[in-house]
Chains A and B, each alone.
Chain A
Amino acid sequence: MLDSQTEMPPLALDVRELGFSYGTKKTLDRISLQVPAGHVTALLGLNGAGKTTLFSLITGLFSTPLGSIGVFGFDIRRAPGEALRRIGVVFQARTLDLDLTVRQNLHYHAALHGLGQRETCRRTDELLDLLGLTDALMEKARRLSGGQMRRVEIARALLHRPALLLLDEPTVGLDIESRADVAASIRQLVSLGGVGVLWATHLLDEVEASDHVVVMKSGRIVAQGAVGDVILASGQTTLAGAFSKLCDVGPREGTT
């Protein structure tokens, strides 16, 4: 587990005692987790573990009935505007407007975050260049491949220079090559921009040894900390083994 007494980078996200239910079904059971700035925190869990609900709560799509969510010290309930302007998010489902061009999609998002025209154009050029999408600027979103759409969504999430990036299974549905491209793009952006990343996934090969991991099962956090610490605490030798043991699933192939 993370040691709160050691020297830590600033907290991009601080979730404390968060609970949520759909009617009588408890989806999140008083969970607490932290995402340090400038680091990737992988949120691992099987389908239905509560990852997407957690993202909906962090982004204010659902209200927080129990516990608190702080984004760089701003409470999502008390100061939603200040918290949201620091968050960039890539949802699990595609959210591009397919009838608009890449440029129109990005400019629309920029305006929703209060960016001026000059800054928007500059950031659009920068990010599309970084993500290898410059040629797609005037393409309609529906003409893009799955991997390109994801990269546009990542560019869009970064347009307003967020300090916290939320990625809800951004590589789901992509082929191996596109997955690798998207993952590499995210890692590159983290190293360049120093943003904190909460990356929900159930694909263990996307987790690197230097990441922090949070393992969720049925709305609860069953382990969190550095990759090595989680593996060690579970008594396994790989992250795949630790994940299988913590989530009570059969043996999985892992890379870490």
Chain B
Amino acid sequence: MRRSESASILHTSKESHGFTMWQYVTCLLAIMGREALRYIHQRERFISSLVRPLLWLVVFAAGFRQTLGVSIIPPYKTYILYEVYILPGLSGMILLFGGMQSSLSLVYDRELGNMRILLVSPFPRWFLLFSKLIAGVVIATVQVYAFLIIARFSGVRPPLAGYFALLPALCISALMLGALGMLISSLIRQLENFAGVMNFVIFPAYFASPALYPLWRIKETSPTLYHICLLNPFTYAVELIRFSLYCQINWTALAAVCGYTLVFLGGAILSYDPALGLTMRRQNFS
């Protein structure tokens, strides 16, 4: 038998037709399970994800309550305490750190070689990367709810229905920030460079947003900074969360978050595409 003939016989005899829906679900659950296990193993990560916003809420907000007055702006119908104002921003902060944590986790995976095991799976690459993002979304969302429960005990009490209305806003915002983290991970060569992400992504995104002060205040102080804030995707995540917490929809924020999500997601999937090879070539295999 000639080689070409034998190859073609094997081709037809072993031909299969992709994966079933159940196999996709199993794969998704396995990726989520692994991320959850990693999260459980890193107890300090869970604690710090709660302590960080609580410090802002309890210490920072208490100190600035008298300094930073907040006028009546939607979705609020009356004057509010500063703690109430920064609650959505702090929820967004958890998502932002969560997204960047996924970026760190991807770089870590790449350095240890675990990423290669994921990428040589026969499932479509977009699905594998999307599953990673979904795992990050679930973990970040759980963190936000844990924070909101503690905040409620400390006296910051949005309407109960808001906790339910918040869920879709949290998911889409976490997806956007996770996709941004994934995109960033493709640009980071080594784990050590992650400190740069803190300085050039997290802090600017957080401070140039309505997380700590309303945009009208920024506009009064610096129109340029105001316009920068309008370009900041985190701005819209915070506003989407703020309105959802009061059972309202900020359509501009929703459209912006959806748009940014698509852009970041597309960029992240492209960056892990072997045809571009941005991610793996950075490892300089010989």
Chain A residues within CB distance 8 Å of chain B? 4-5, 7-11, 14, 22, 27, 34, 37, 47-48, 50, 52-53, 56, 59-63, 70, 72-74, 80-87, 89, 91, 93-95, 97-100, 104, 107-109, 111-114, 116-117, 163
Verify B3–A34 contact, CB threshold 8 A. Answer: yes
Question: Which residues of B have CB within 8 Å of A72?
Answer: 7, 10-11, 14
Report the contact-size class of chain B (Cβ under 8 Å from the partner). 35 or more
What DSSP secondary structure best describes chain B's contact surface?
Answer: helix
Verify B37–A99 contact, CB threshold 8 A. Answer: yes
Which residue of B9, B34, B275 is within 8 Å of A100 (Cβ)? B34
Verify A84–B41 contact, CB threshold 8 A. Answer: no
Question: B72: CB under 8 A from chain A?
Answer: no
Question: B120: CB under 8 A from chain A?
Answer: yes
Interface residue stretch chosen among B80-88, B247-255, B278-286: B278-286
Interface residue stretch chosen among B19-27, B146-154, B196-204, B235-243: B19-27
Question: Which residues of B have CB within 8 Å of A117?
Answer: 26
What DSSP secondary structure best describes chain A's contact surface?
Answer: loop
Q: How distant is B130 from chain A, measured CB to nearest CB, in Å?
A: 14
Which residue of A70, A86, A104 is within 8 Å of B7 (Cβ)? A70
Which residue of B27, B274, B281 is within 8 Å of A112 (Cβ)? B27
Q: How distant is A1 from chain B, measured CB to nearest CB, in Å?
A: 13
Question: Which residues of A have CB within 8 Å of B112?
Answer: 94-95, 97-98
Question: Which residues of B have CB within 8 Å of A63?
Answer: 273-277
Verify A11–B274 contact, CB threshold 8 A. Answer: no
Complex alpha-carbon distance, A60 and B128, angstroms: 14
18 additional A-B pairs beyond A34-B3, A73-B11, beta carbons within 8 Å, are A5-B2, A8-B1, A8-B2, A9-B6, A56-B280, A63-B277, A72-B10, A81-B123, A89-B120, A95-B116, A97-B34, A99-B37, A108-B30, A108-B34, A109-B117, A111-B26, A111-B29, A116-B26
